[in-house]
Structures are given as C-alpha cells and as structure tokens.
Amino acid sequence: MEIIEGKTNLIVSQTAIVFSLLGLLIPFLVDKIESVPIIFKVVLLITVLLAFFSYMLSLRNAIKNFKITEFKYRSPGVNNVISFKDKPEELFVAEEVRDLLNSVDINKAINNHKGTNLLHAYNAFKLGNFFMGISVTILMISLLFLKQEDKSIQIRSPLEIKGLEELNKTIKSIRLQPDTIIMKKENNLKQENVIRSVQPNQGDR
C-alpha cells in the first residue's frame, strides 16, 4: 500500500512539473512557428494536444487513489476484545484469525484497484512523453532544415526623387535675418517695385 501511494505521489508531482514547463514553452513555440509551413503547424498542434490530454488522463487516474472514502481497508475488529473477554483465549485467537483472513481478501482487492489506477496513470504519462518527444522533434526539423518564409519588406520598383540638388541649393541660398517677418519683406519688395515704377514716369515729365 505504501509503495502504491508513493508512486502515485510521484506521478502527480511529475505531471505538475510537465504542465509548468508546457506553460513556459507555449509562448516560445507560438513565436517560433509563425514562419513554419502549415502542414507542420497542424501536425505539431495535434501532437501537443495529444500530449496534453495524455498528461491530463495520467493525472486523473493518479488522483483516483487519493479518494480515501472509496478504499475502506479491513482490520480485526476492536469489539472482539470486549466480546471474548470472558471466553477462552483459543476462541479469541480463532476470531482474530478469521477477521485477518477476511480482511486479507478485501485489502488485496483494494490494493489491486489502486494498482490498476497507478498502472493506467503510468501508461498515460508515458504516452504523453512520447507525444511530447514527437512535438519537439517536429519543431526542431521545421526550424533547422526547412526554409523559413521571408517576411521582410522588399521594394520591387524603388522611387527616384529628382531635383534634390537644386532644392538643397535653394534652401541654402535662403537666409533670413533674425526677427524678420517674411510678409514684411514681401511688402517692402512691393513698395520698392512701386517706387521704381514711379521714378521712370517722373523722368518722362
């Protein structure tokens, strides 16, 4: 009985560790399989799901052994001491032996039931490890040997911008004085043009 319970605890603890590792690896797997071909994604998803369900089945079968109310072991009755206190010792010993023989069969059946649960849990855990190994193998093959899709942005017909040199020369030639307003400069230019247009007319007179 102690051996069965110890191995059951081991299965439960190992399954919990595997679930923790899966929780850490799933974000990494999702990030890495974006560029993997669709057929490998489908196979990888199926194997990971099969591994997950196998681990869940293993945990379910192992937890069955912790249902104490379903496993009632038999032992010699305490009432025998009271019932046979005034009777000969031979009768008391015979009753104890009879209770022990009856309890052996019942306890053996209970241990067999627990052993069956443990065996199913072990087989499911082993199957989960098998599917997880297949998943890792598929992932390694897809990352190492398959050509990844190139997701970089490529410009097939690049644009050619002309006239940049002339634009740079124009920008360099424009020099504004501090505290100068462009509109004011334009107004001054207009006034100068007006004065120039008036002066020739005065000369004609």
Tens of pLDDT, residue by residue over 134-188, are 988 888 887 777 655 555 566 566 566 666 677 677 776 665 555 544 454 555 5
Using an 8 Å Cβ cutoff, are 76 and 99 in contact? yes
Would you say 52 and 129 are in contact if contact means Cβ atoms under 8 Å apart? no
Task: Look up tokens 């191995």; give the residue.
Answer: 7
Secondary structure of residue 84 in the 3-state scheme: coil
Question: How far is CA 26 from each of CA 38, 107, 129, 179, rounded to the nearest angstrom?
Answer: 18, 44, 16, 63
pLDDT digits (tens, 9 = 90+) for 4-49: 778 888 888 888 888 888 777 777 777 767 777 788 788 888 998 9
Tell me: the pLDDT tens digits for 109-143?
888 888 888 899 999 999 999 998 898 888 888 77
pTM: 0.59
Residue 158, classed as helix, strand or coil, is: coil
